[in-house]
Structure 1
């Protein structure tokens, strides 16, 4: 467990070049968008230069496809005097993080000042004070505890699970941007995703309070979706949701963006799926300990193929 370090940014032209690469490879670019791309390239010499440098790097990565992460990093780090490195946005203790990418969906908040951060691909245990049970942090989870009340955790991103246990322990509250989860002894899984917060409860019950909406009592064994305005039960059981602690992602009729966001925590690179695929729903069991295989499985289930460049970039396209 470690506190994150600052991540340097890449310049505007580099961000836009990567965004255009993802869009054009995604297979859903319209004729108008392709024309806009050509206008972008011709409008500024720095744009053309950024595009050329990106293609040069991708050619090098294609030659390394299937190679080790260290080989990919060496390719990205190859000296290029007088030029910015385009794809390497920064290295955390977990390794290469491709960030700051502009496309239809922009990676937003990194919560770099979180009190605790799990940069690994395997769950880590965080001991809490005040007689509370340990909390398991999933990949890329970021939480705040300092300056908050006893038993109060703010989950900024990723997944956490509590162990539950003694009925007389201090009530535990877990807050996300969407609302509050409150329980006294039940085991909880809380997952902050781009569109909602997913909550599962085992061995007891809990209260969900949406930030601007409903307050719902949830029963043992159930799974719920919470946004700022609403709370709704999900088709998965709590056992399905807790499978992430065992290295599996189990989803039933789940939106593809949920699956892509979750796999992204383990892939630690940039993932691009066509917009039409992101509007679909899927069911399945995906291996979190093998994100490449999981991405292949997701793409095939959607009738797509996916090209993966090490642990840096994955682009799904129509077959």
Structure 2
């Protein structure tokens, strides 16, 4: 993350990544002098450089190839996963933080690594799915989400704990996802009630905070497609799509603001990102740039009118 509270501009991050790539290869005194001048020109340049270095250090510790979706056992047809359409629009990419104490996810009963999706059978035929980089504790009558996202099916009367309060499930299927400052709750089937007040009915989603549960409207189509290893887009802005895809990928994944509002329709296999990037280039006026193996951005193929 940047050392400043303000998000770093996309162009500055790209410059930092390009300088990093240059200095990793063959270079001489002129290149190092030019890089040092760039570093000294603005505080944001040093912040961007520090971020690139931090991501490089994290990625260097990851075994290759990355073990994305090791526990995923679904047989989704590839032919139906690359239906994609587009119309024109703009946006940005922000990294999501986490609020749970670091020790809680580490000691949780069940957890997933980045890029991993896991199904956990429960007594009585109920099922629990954990999305990428999630952690939860299980007991006979309760589930506590410490980090990430889960979907629970077939466990009526279950008590649900989150960083933002407790819930009661009076139905068959519910989803929880942690965000900075709140937890999103999706009532796929049946009602969900917060101990602090507020209820969702079938087909509704809401925001859970310490003061209760407030409705946000109807659930998004395809919101539970991740349980099948699919990222589903229904007229989704490209920037939001890249942000979601970044939850499953190591390294940096960004989107140029000039193309971030281009729209997507389709279903995309999370375990095969290269297919996704190829599909984006075929269907949209974008190109996927990779100045470093772990630094990827989606940019305009040519200047937009």
User: Fold conserved (TM > 0.5)?
Assistant: yes
Specify whether residues 39 and 86 from structure 1 end up closer, same or farther in structure 2 by C-alpha distance, changes over 3 A only: same
3-state DSSP class of the match of 2:56?
Answer: coil
4+ residue runs of structure 1 moved beyond 6 angstroms?
9-12, 16-19, 23-26, 93-97
Matched residues in 1 for 2:185 and 2:64: separation?
26
> How far did 1:96 drift?
6.7
How many residue pairs match? The answer is 246
Q: Which residue is equivalent to 2:191? A: 206
Q: Which of 56, 63, 79 is matched with 1:87 structurally?
A: 56
> How far did 1:271 drift?
0.6
Q: Which residue is equivalent to 1:224? A: 205
> How far did 1:315 drift?
1.0
Specify whether residues 251 and 216 from structure 1 end up closer, same or farther in structure 2 by C-alpha distance, changes over 3 A only: farther
List gaps (5 residues or longer) in structure 1. 1-8, 27-36, 55-83, 98-102
Matched residues in 2 for 1:25 and 1:206: separation?
48
Matched residues in 2 for 1:224 and 1:151: separation?
21
3-state DSSP class of the match of 1:162?
Answer: strand
TM-score, L = length of structure 1: 0.56
Confirm or deny: 8 A CA contact 1:192 1:198 kept in the other structure: yes
Confirm or deny: 8 A CA contact 2:175 2:187 kept in the other structure: yes
Matched residues in 1 for 2:145 and 2:130: separation?
12
- Pairing of 1:33-48 with structure 2 (within 5 A): 41-43=39-41
TM-score, L = length of structure 2: 0.59
Q: Which of 284, 296, 304 is matched with 2:266 structurally?
A: 284
> How far did 1:273 drift?
0.5
Confirm or deny: 8 A CA contact 2:55 2:252 kept in the other structure: no
Backbone CA RMSD of aligned residues: 4.9
> How far did 1:119 drift?
0.8
- Pairing of 1:81-120 with structure 2 (within 5 A): 87-89=56-58, 91=61, 105-106=94-95, 108-109=97-98, 111=100, 112-113=102-103, 114=105, 115=108, 116-119=110-113
> How far did 1:183 drift?
1.0
Specify whether residues 304 and 150 from structure 1 end up closer, same or farther in structure 2 by C-alpha distance, changes over 3 A only: same
3-state DSSP class of the match of 2:14?
Answer: helix
Specify whether residues 118 and 296 from structure 1 end up closer, same or farther in structure 2 by C-alpha distance, changes over 3 A only: same
> 1:158-203, CA deviations, whole angstroms, 9 ceiling, x for partnerless residues?
x2121315x4xx42324255x655313412232335697554444x
Matched residues in 2 for 1:10 and 1:261: separation?
17
List gaps (5 residues or longer) in structure 2. 19-34, 68-91
Q: Which residue is equivalent to 2:151? A: 161
> How far did 1:286 drift?
1.8
